[in-house]
Amino acid sequence: MKSRLFPVVVEQDEDGFYADCPSLQGCHVQGKNYEETLANLKDAIKLHIEDRLARHESIPTPGLVSLTALEIFA
């Protein structure tokens, strides 16, 4: 199996953690703690890739992910 590196985003909220892989549409998970969330996302990414390969679809090349903050006055 080929090694791949995907950028991920992990956020904490009042219920635990939420993580997303921006390169793979719909690939997001939740977890009680940071480590569990990363493990869940790793499993989700593997399943996502396996599904794409089974359907003879290409695996997206990860793009640039930028993290910034926007000040909003509302």
| Torsion region of 26: left, alpha or beta (phi above 0 gives left; psi -120 to 50 gives alpha) | left
Enter the DSSP assignment of 33: S
User: Which residue ranges make up each domain of the chain?
Assistant: 9-54
Tokens of 37: 């969330």
- Separation between Cα atoms, residue 8 and residue 3, nearest integer Å: 16
Residue 27's pLDDT is 95
> What share of the chain has pLDDT > 90, as a percent?
80
CA-only gyration radius of the chain, Å: 14
- CA proximity to 4, closest of 57, 44, 45, 65: 45
Per-residue pLDDT tens digits for 39-55: 999 999 999 999 999 99
Q: Tell me what the mean pLDDT of segment 19-24 comes to.
A: 94
pTM value is: 0.85
